[in-house]
């Protein structure tokens, strides 16, 4: 089963595929009823209501599903059911299969089960696309996505616009002792799903992160570090809670657990544009309910 979402849509399309139907010998498989369901056992907040569509077959025989091969079910959650200013709604979607042998045939063991789960999420965050439903249709404002840690991919390859930024981050990952500011046992976040980055949309937090980063660029490269068209690149990004000023907000985190380096402004701004596009494409939300990691390709 594959879940897809059209851009800026609140409707998720779950498409089921039935493949490799085969029988051996003499059996009653052809007339065996098979029931397929897409269950939503839990929502946060609880009590959310969903609109279902598509052509889910319910119960069909083995022979009928073998001929059908595929069907789809749609799930839509109207805005206004979520929590907070972003109208956040989380849920669990579980495809389940059950079957019953036709008389007089019998089977042993489990006759069905939950296949796996997906984690749909809906929002109407003001800082993401379609926050007003196009201005004329508030019932369609916001969109759906899947609530998983996503990966921002940056490249150090020749010709990559963000090459210098990617090289800087790669050094911070592989040789943190070679980065500035100095800190023993430096280990910047965003490398693993256990220690992801979290987006912040606070202009104050973002500005304080940048000020803290620039302060270190000046400390190590002098006030003229911008000569030649350079800018102070920082990792973790200024638009994350893990940015250079994190220690000012949370004294328990390690001070100077970040990296700065003057790089060509074109590379720095290309990296920033990729990050903003990444936020929008993945509907990355502010705070602890979302996160992402960074991968550098060489």
Decide if pLDDT at 135 tops 80: no
Decide if pLDDT at 40 tops 90: yes
Instruction: Please tell me the predicted confidence (pLDDT) of residue 14.
Output: 96
pLDDT in tens, 7-39: 999 999 999 999 999 999 998 999 999 999 999
Q: What is the mean pLDDT of the chain?
A: 95
Decide if pLDDT at 134 tops 90: no
- What is the C-alpha to C-alpha distance for residues 101 and 109, in angstroms, rounded to an integer? 12
Instruction: Please tell me the predicted confidence (pLDDT) of residue 217.
Output: 98
- Phi–psi pair at 75, nearest 5 degrees: -135, 125
- What is the C-alpha to C-alpha distance for residues 256 and 243, in angstroms, rounded to an integer? 10
pLDDT in tens, 221-278: 999 999 999 999 999 999 999 999 999 999 999 999 999 999 999 999 999 999 999 9
Cis? peptide before 105, omega within 30° of 0: no
Mean pLDDT value of segment 134-155: 92
Angle at 131 between CA 125 and CA 134, to 5 degrees: 175
What angle in degrees, to the nearest 10, is found between the helix axes of 163-174 and 265-281? 80
- What is the C-alpha to C-alpha distance for residues 156 and 297, in angstroms, rounded to an integer? 6
Residue 130: how many other CB atoms lie within 10 Å: 18
- What is the C-alpha to C-alpha distance for residues 49 and 80, in angstroms, rounded to an integer? 11
* pTM of the predicted model as reported, rounded to 2 decimal places: 0.90
Beta bridge partners of 233: 261
Using an 8 Å Cβ cutoff, are 199 and 284 in contact?
yes
- What is the C-alpha to C-alpha distance for residues 62 and 107, in angstroms, rounded to an integer? 15
């Amino acid at each position: 089963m594959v879940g897809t979402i059209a851009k800026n849509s609140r409707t998720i399309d779950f498409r089921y595929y039935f493949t490799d139907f085969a029988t051996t010998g003499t059996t009653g498989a052809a007339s065996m009823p098979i029931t397929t369901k897409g269950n939503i056992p839990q929502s946060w907040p609880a009590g959310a209501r969903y609109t279902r569509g598509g052509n889910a077959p319910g119960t069909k025989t083995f022979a009928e599903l073998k001929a059908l091969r595929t069907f789809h079910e749609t799930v839509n959650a109207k805005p206004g059911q979520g929590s907070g200013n972003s109208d956040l709604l989380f849920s669990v979607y579980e495809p389940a299969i059950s079957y019953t042998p036709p008389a007089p045939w019998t089977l042993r063991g489990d006759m069905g089960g939950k296949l796996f789960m997906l984690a749909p999420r809906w929002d109407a965050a003001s800082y993401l696309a379609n926050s007003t439903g196009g201005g004329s249709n508030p019932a369609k404002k916001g969109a759906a996505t899947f609530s998983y840690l996503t990966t921002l991919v940056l490249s150090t390859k020749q010709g990559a616009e963000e090459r210098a930024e990617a090289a800087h981050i790669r050094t911070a990952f592989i040789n943190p002792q070679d980065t500035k500011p100095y800190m023993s046992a430096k280990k910047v976040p965003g490398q693993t799903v256990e220690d992801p980055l979290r987006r912040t949309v606070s202009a104050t937090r973002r500005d304080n992160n940048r000020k803290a980063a620039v302060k270190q660029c000046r400390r190590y490269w002098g006030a003229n570090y911008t000569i030649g068209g350079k800018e102070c690149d920082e990792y973790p990004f200024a638009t994350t809670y893990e940015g250079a000023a994190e220690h000012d907000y949370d004294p328990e985190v390690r001070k100077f657990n970040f990296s700065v380096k003057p790089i060509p402004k074109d590379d720095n701004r290309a990296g920033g544009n990729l990050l903003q596009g990444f936020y929008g494409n993945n509907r990355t939300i502010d705070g602890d309910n979302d996160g992402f990691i960074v991968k550098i390709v060489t």
